[in-house]
Amino acid sequence: MRRIFTWGIATSTTIEDGTITYPMLLGTFLAQEDITIIGFEINLHPPVSIIATDRIGNDGSVAWEAELTPQGGFMMEGGLGICAAIEVWNTTPAAVDYELAHKIVMFPEGFGVTVREEGVINLMFNGSNDTAVDVRVTVDARLYYVKGIR
């Protein structure tokens, strides 16, 4: 029986009004020894800084995504997984729609992703906001791993 270790991060960032963000780094896991990642989790939470009064006259949408990857950008070779979310709102008629964004992947027994000592896994972020208000979103991610190469 092998012990399963975890690494987690929870952070938030702002997507300014009327902008598209370029891929940004939210956090990095640095392997202290050779490990095998056996699973991961990514959660994208609904915007925390938009309240009902902010939406008045500010119809629009916010989209954001996060990826766990050894690379320094989005959708590059070797990425573990990506999770995307969108929130859309309208003032007349009043409506808000948020697509739940939660991804958990556990690899089958005997399979995993090798990360050598001093290798990194980055939590990358990207987003867009076509409204007239700044939006703050929260992202959390976890890695599940065992020590050594499987």
d(CA 45, CA 66): 11
| Mean pLDDT value of segment 82-89 | 86
| Residue 111: pLDDT over 90 | yes
Average pLDDT, the chain: 86
pLDDT value for 120: 96
Assign residue 67 the CATH number of its domain: 2.60.120
Residue 81, token pair as written in the block: 């997984």
Interior CA angle at 145 toward 140 and 150, to 5°?
150
The count of structural domains within the chain is 1
Residue 121 lies in domain: 5-147
Backbone φ and ψ of 52, nearest 5°: -55, -40
**pLDDT tens digit string along 62-81?**
889 999 999 888 888 889 99
Helices (H) and strands (E) in the chain, counts: 1, 11
